[in-house]
A and B are shown apart, each in its own frame.
Chain A
Amino acid sequence: MVESLKRTPLYDVHVAAGARVIDFGGWEMPVQYTGILEEHRAVRQAAGLFDLCHMGEFRVTGPQALDFVQMMTTNDAGALEAGQVQYSMFCGPDGGIVDDILVYREKDGFFLVVNASNTAKDFQWLEEHLAKSSMAGGVKLANLSDDYALIAIQGPRAAEILQKLTPTGLSALGYYHFTEEKVHNIPAIIARTGYTGEDGFEIYITPAQAAALWHRFMEAGQPYGLLPIGLGARDTLRLEMKYTLYGNDIGEDTTPLEAGIGWAVKLDKGDFIGRDALLKQKAEGVKRKLVGFKMTERGIPRSHYPIQVNGRTIGHVTSGSMSPTLGENIGLGYVEAGYAPVGTRIAVEIRGKGAGAQVVRTPFVESHIKK
């Protein structure tokens, strides 16, 4: 029997708005509303609203919460003060990426946000390690994925729109910080985070209020050019920033050092799962690296296309698209480390023919996040 697809509390809202819905990691999600290019432009120039209710949320509390989070994640959760958010990862003992996550430091513990399709795997990963550890008595672990809806508003006008709905002064909320406040009179966690390279916010509320908040946002944002954004534009927006996508650019067979996200690995923070393997890889040097490239000849690079130099395959594409902002064809891919320097000429095999490309500096498009 086919397992039925899950729906977010906003499913009916999307269908009523004419969205095209696809299966995304077991969820029925909108891939586009009016069109990917128009939605992409709206986020870069005005603002866009995203349904991220499928993301997973866990909470870790108890006297040994910090010790447990430190053991399970690569970044230094001990450096966080209450109200701060941190990009981090779960790694396996071999250094492969189990998931990339956000760690929220709350007064009494940690709030972890994980990729939707990894929610069950991640929670099991945490439970098993907790049970095996000496910390089982001092840590409470809860999967709250069904208790939170998540709506993101991103773009240069996002702060103005959200400010109309909340009493909290958003100018005081820094990048990768969060606060608990009401939005449209609904209790919420408001974080200044995102996956687009624009200023913006991610807002956690109870699922029962998700549709009401969505409609209120669309109403308040209408004069600013706010559009609902599907997964299609979400992908092109993040690709222009070289933000990695789990399952495409990173996974259990890639390490943070190979993927260029070693800045979120703190090898000197103390022991954590994967540390030994990553220390060794760092000492030996990585054999392949994730690079950004632009096509210099006609063709759009797509996931799994071979990357070649002089007819020899030296890597493969992990993400690729036409960049709506640049009007050029761009991609990410792993290449042998010797071919990773900016400026290196490579070729992407597209339908049996090599098309020229060049490794470029990333992000492809200038970021506008408010540091």
Chain B
Amino acid sequence: MNFPKDLKYTKEHEWVKVNGKEAAVGVTDHAQHELGDVVFVEVPEEGGEFSRGEGFAVIESVKAVSDVYAPVSGKVIRINEALADSPELINTDPYGQAWIAVFELSNLKELDDLMTADEYKKFLEEGEGE
């Protein structure tokens, strides 16, 4: 299992890559492993505004439909259109090509509530990620 140090993490298994007031969001290696073969991704529309904890995308494996929750509040300023034709990127490159959307952050303080790579790893090891 892979935990890039430069990312921040949520208990719902999303990752956040912060760049100034912008943040790219995706799901973790653990999440894609639990989901199994991903066959469909619904990304949000550009301009959509989401509050922290709100579902902003949907990932479907062969068997299940899963919501992806906004780890931070903000406006979607870019979406990853490649996921429409290549949903399997979620499985093959969860921290890279499978970014889902970039948010313009509306509350930078929310970033303090996210976990570091080490904290997320510990969170999973303690079994709270079930």
Q: Could you mark each residue 32-56 of chain B with 1 if its beta carbon is under 8 Å from any beta carbon of chain A, else 0?
A: 0000110110100000000000000
Q: Kindly specify which of A28-36, A73-81, A310-318 makes contact with the partner chain.
A: A28-36
A351 touching B58 by the CB < 8 A rule? yes
Within 8 A of A (CB), among B100-127: none
Bound together, the chains give a CA A324 to CA B40 distance in angstroms of 12
Give 1 or 0 for each of A12-37: 1 = CB within 8 Å of chain B CB.
00000000100000000001100111
Q: Does A302 contact B (CB under 8 A)?
A: yes
Please tell me if the beta carbons of B84 and A36 are within 8 angstroms of each other in the complex.
Answer: no
Please tell me the size bucket of the interface on A.
10 to 19
In the bound complex, residues from chain A placing their C-beta under 8 Å from that of B65 are 300, 302
Question: Is A306 on the interface with B (CB-CB < 8 A)?
Answer: no
Q: Which residues of A contact B36 (CB under 8 A)?
A: 20, 32, 35-36, 232
**CA gap between A35 and B42 in the complex, in Å:** 22
Selected contact of B62 from candidates A20, A36, A299, A351, CB within 8 Å: A36
Contacts of A300 in B (CB 8 A): 39-40, 60, 65
**Nearest CB in chain A: distance from B80 CB, A:** 15
Asked whether any CB of chain B lies closer than 8 Å to the CB of A236, the reply is yes
> Which A-chain residue is minimally distant from B84 (CB atoms)?
A298
Asked if B5 is at the interface (CB within 8 A of a chain A CB), the reply is no
A37 touches B62 (CB 8 A): yes
Contact B37 A35 (CB under 8 A): yes
Q: Which residues of A contact B39 (CB under 8 A)?
A: 37, 300, 322
Chain A residues closer than 8 Å to B37, beta-carbon distance? 35-37
Cβ of A64 < 8 Å from any Cβ of B? no
Write out the residue numbers on chain B whose beta carbons fall within 8 Å of the beta carbon of A117.
none
The size of the chain B interface, using a CB distance under 8 A, is 12
* A36 and B63 contacting across the interface, CB-CB below 8 Å: yes
B44 to chain A, nearest CB (A): 12
Cα A351 to Cα B42 with chains together (Å): 11
Q: Is the interface of B mostly helix, strand, loop or mixed?
A: strand
A314-330 interface mask toward B, CB cutoff 8 Å, 1 = contact, 0 = none?
00000001101000010
Check A236 against B40 for contact (C-beta < 8 Å). no
C-beta contact mask, A214-232 vs B, less than 8 Å → 1, else 0? 0000000000000000001
Residues of A within 8 A of B84 (CB): 298
- Whether B58 lies near A322 (C-beta < 8 A) is no
Q: A32 contacts which chain B residues (CB < 8 A)?
A: 36
Q: Closest residue of chain B to A231, judged by CB?
A: B63
Which residues of the partner chain B approach A299 to less than 8 Å between Cβ atoms? Answer: 40, 42
CB distance from B126 to the nearest CB of A (A): 21
- When C-beta atoms are compared, the residue in chain B nearest to A236 turns out to be B62
Given contacts A298-B84, A351-B58, contact A322 B63 (CB under 8 A): no
Smallest CB gap from B34: residue in A:
A20
A20 and B33 alpha carbons, distance in the complex (Å): 11
Contacts of A37 in B (CB 8 A): 37, 39, 62
Residues in B with CB closer than 8 Å to A298 are 40, 42, 84
Residues of A contacting B58 in the complex (Cβ-Cβ under 8 angstroms): 351
Closest-by-CB residue of B relative to A302 is: B65
0/1 string, A324-353, CB within 8 A of B gives 1: 100001000000000000000000000100
Closest to B61 in A: A36
Known A32-B36, A322-B39, A322-B40; 13 more pairs at CB < 8 Å? A20-B36, A36-B36, A36-B61, A36-B62, A232-B36, A232-B62, A298-B42, A300-B60, A300-B65, A302-B65, A324-B62, A351-B42, A351-B58
Chain B positions within 8 Å of A, measured between CB atoms, are 36-37, 39-40, 42, 58, 60-63, 65, 84
Can you offer 15 A-B residue contacts whose CB atoms are under 8 A?
A32-B36, A36-B37, A36-B62, A36-B63, A37-B39, A37-B62, A232-B63, A298-B84, A299-B40, A299-B42, A300-B60, A300-B65, A321-B62, A324-B62, A351-B58
Residues of A within 8 A of B (CB): 20, 31-32, 35-37, 232, 235-236, 298-300, 302, 321-322, 324, 329, 351
